[in-house]
Amino acid sequence: MPPASAVIPIVDLSGPQADVAKQLVDAAADHGFIYIRNLGHDIPVASIDEAFALSEKLFSAPSDEKQACSIQTNNRGWVGMHAETLDPQNQKVGDFKEAFNFGEFINSKAQQPIPPTVAADEGRFSAFADLCRALSLKILTLLGQGLQVDDFFTSAHFRSPSGSGSTLRFLRYPPPSSTSHAAEDVRAGAHSDYGSITLLFRLKGQAGLEILKKDGTWAPVPVSPPGTENDASPPILVNIGDLLSYWTNGLFRSTVHRVVFPTNGADGVDGESSSEPRYSIAFFCQPMDDVLLEPVPSERVRSFVEDGVVKNPYAERKVVTARQHLFMRLRETYGTLYEDEKD
């Protein structure tokens, strides 16, 4: 019997904002993952469709074009198959995916090389990144309201594009039939996200994503959860990253997740398949590089107790700034690429 799907709250952003803020905070604390629906005014369906069309065009570029844009220590550029290992302690082989990271755009221009195949589309990539930034800021605002800390989160983000590590990432997972993989291999290793929040866009019918539940078991995450099947576009999946967990003393959960092959249980969702290439788009919302990771001044955070002890799950890492945390995680993922890089 396939594993039961993950139960993740669905939040309608069009509802009364005080209620939405509470729902978001509760979902962040209890689950760490949140479905967001009714986004027409924030990110139109046509913009999401266009972004996925751009993704296919980007990955269809000739190999030499993509290799000329290979990822650098600024976390921008193309990542080839197996170049990234998100769970280095448990993976024998790197992730079965390729990716392309766009850093912040300035005046609609990418601050990095991009393949000539999509050079004429630079402004369209930038426009989609702008929509993601605006929605991220809206969610951060609501989370701040829900914790009664005003602009604590929003003031840490997006003061200037040049000082932010936020990343718009396009991903392509080849169909399993085109890869040679062992039973224990995964398409993207188990990990938590590095930043504040992540916006994840997926296509209907494409299986693979799983989250680690509190009981230590894995559960598939449907693209279209019950009640959203007839929506014009699947809900955006928002997940809490390490930094919001850090800031809230562990109240907000930075949930571990992975992408698996169907033999690992990813085919447990009716109507979803791994027979075709899997495309997804993630916007990783990062604070400004120089932001200090200090506890949020919230009464709910101060009173949070888990297992009888108030604790910060990342305190032992002695993180000082958002940039230091990001580079620590990138070193774990890319190995030798960051050997000579200084914080």
What global pTM score does this model have? 0.91
Residue 197 · residue 240 · CB < 8 Å: yes
pLDDT-based confidence at residue 193 (cuts at 50, 70, 90): very high
Judge whether residue 266 has pLDDT over 50: no
Q: Which residue has the tokens 């479905």?
A: 35
pLDDT at residue 318, as a whole number: 58
pLDDT at 314: 52
User: 294 in helix, strand or coil?
Assistant: coil
pLDDT score at 232: 87
Better-scored residue on pLDDT, 187 or 264: 187
Per the prediction, the chain carries an average pLDDT of: 88
pLDDT at 99: 97
CA distance between the termini of the chain = 47
- Whether the pLDDT of residue 269 is over 50: the answer is yes
- Whether the per-residue pLDDT at 173 is higher than 90: the answer is yes
Name the superfamily (CATH) of residues 10-337.
B-lactam Antibiotic, Isopenicillin N Synthase; Chain (2.60.120.330)
Q: Assess contact for 147 and 266: CB atoms under 8 A.
A: no
Burial of 300 (0-12, 13-18, 19+ CB in 10 A): middle
Q: Does 262 have pLDDT greater than 80?
A: no
Give residue-wise pLDDT tens across range 105-163.
999 999 999 999 999 999 999 999 999 999 999 999 999 999 999 899 999 998 888 88
The lowest-confidence range among 24-28, 77-81, 275-279 is: 275-279
Q: What is the pLDDT of residues 90-103, one digit of tens each?
A: 888 888 999 999 99
Beta bridge partners of 106: 109
Nearest residue to 280 via CA among 191, 192, 188: 188
Using an 8 Å Cβ cutoff, are 288 and 156 in contact?
A: yes
Tokens of 20: 């939405």
Q: How many CA atoms lie within 13 A of 227 on its CB side?
A: 11
